[in-house]
Amino acid sequence: MRMLATGSAIRGLPVVTIGGGEDVAEVRDVIYDPQAGRVLGLTLNKRGFLAGRSREVLPAEQIHAIGQDAVMVQDEGSLILPHDAPADVGEPPSGRDVTGDEVLTEQGTSLGKVRDVVVLLGSNGEVVGYEIDAASGGTGYIPLPTQLAVSGSTLIVPEATKDFVEKDLVGLGAAVDDFRSRLGPS
Amino acid sequence: MSDSFTAVSGRKVVSQKSAEELGDVAHIVIDVKRRKVASLIVGKGRKALVLDWDQVSGLGPDAVMVADESALHAPRDDHENAAADGKLELIGKRALNDVGNDLGELSDVRFDPKTGIIESLVLGEREEAAASLLGAGSYAAIFQTSAQ
């Protein structure tokens, strides 16, 4: 059973140092790479009354774990200025936003439109699925294979994804391993 | 015999030399790396003083004894100022594990009154060994995941 969270649930989480027990920042947004299917890093807000955008970013390699209640880092040195970060994190290329993209199966069934990414908690940013506005109505959650084709506006997923449209994150957490094992090694 | 932070909190600090009461214990500060009591904060607000653990002559059930009032000193740096302000108070502090999940609030800390060595930390119904404490600061106390 895997614990999952949407990108919007991660926004606003405190970034806390393991060694110091200090909240050094707050998550502003996730930097997502749809090709890689993972979070590359997080942009940050400052903590406190004068909270505003922080210049620093948190690359995924510096994240110890994204949890339900906090993002854990080793120490304050984990937050770095954009020009010290990997290019993808320091200056994320535009056109990576998958929100609103149509999800099509390989055989041409539309499952709906992407609303948010679903991140594996306890990881440093592994994306295991998407939250979608389901074509059948309401909110749905679909698992992602480890590799997938994306264009600017459409995402092609394996046909089997049809059988794994879940109603909630608990269902998706249970379905991810099952789905990936059905697809075989990628 | 172990003592606990909630029990020591409020205990009077007395000078052995003058028999005068110098104040009450307001906060207890720990050294996370050594898992030991580092100091006691005596009194509150601007008058708060720091009593380093090695200046404690005896931690008894009814009073904390010091040789004389010179055992206490005013806060000298940022860390001691934060401690004097109660920002490092562990009791009531949020507890998180190292993968970012909430474990509730720290309700007490048990320690050996002779050595200051921390024995365990109480999280509501649960008690965690001191060894599972990874860090503690103004925001939270961090525990090893296996502690769950």
pLDDT in tens, B106-125: 999 999 999 999 999 999 88
Is A18 touching B (CB cutoff 8 A)? yes
Query: How buried is residue A137: exposed, middle or buried, by Cβ count under 10 Å (0-12/13-18/19+)?
Result: exposed
Domain that holds residue B49: 3-84
Q: Is B50 a domain residue?
A: yes
Same domain, B7 and B79: yes
Burial of B41 by CB count in 10 Å (0-12 exposed, 13-18 middle, 19+ buried)? buried
Chain A contact present for B97, CB below 8 A: yes
B73 and B18 in one domain? yes
C-alpha to C-alpha distance for A100 and A95, rounded to whole angstroms: 12
Mean pLDDT, rounded, for B22-37:
95
Q: Is the torsion defined by CA of B12, B71, B85, A72 positive or negative?
A: negative
Q: What is the pLDDT of residue A1?
A: 66
Q: How confident is the model at residue A8 (pLDDT cuts 50, 70, 90)?
A: very high
Residue with tokens 């109603």: A167
Domain-terminating residue out of B84, B118, B137: B84
Domain boundaries along the sequence of chain A: 4-90, 102-183
Report the CATH number of the A4-90 domain.
2.30.30.240
Query: pLDDT digits over A144-160, tens only?
Result: 887 677 777 898 999 99
Q: How confident is the model at residue A94 (pLDDT cuts 50, 70, 90)?
A: confident
Indicate whether B12 and B74 sit together in one domain. yes
pLDDT tens digits for range A69-87: 999 999 999 999 989 988 8
- Longest distance between any two alpha carbons in chain A, whole Å: 52
- Is ipTM > 0.90 here? no
B100/A69 touch (CB, cutoff 8 Å), yes or no: yes
d(CA A143, CA B145): 27
Is-contact A98 A35, C-beta < 8 A?
no
Residue B147 has pLDDT above 50, yes or no: no
pTM for this predicted structure: 0.88
- Whether residues B137 and A21 touch (CB distance < 8 A) is answered with yes
Residue A50, Cβ neighbours under 10 Å: how many?
Answer: 6
The CATH number of residue B72's host domain is 2.30.30.240
Q: What average pLDDT does the segment A91-118 reach? A: 89
* CATH architecture of the domain with range A102-183: Alpha-Beta Complex (3.90)
B89 inside domain = no
Is 50 exceeded by the pLDDT of residue B38?
yes
Instruction: For residue B60, tell me if it sits in a domain.
Output: yes
Question: At A147, which amino acid appears?
Answer: Q
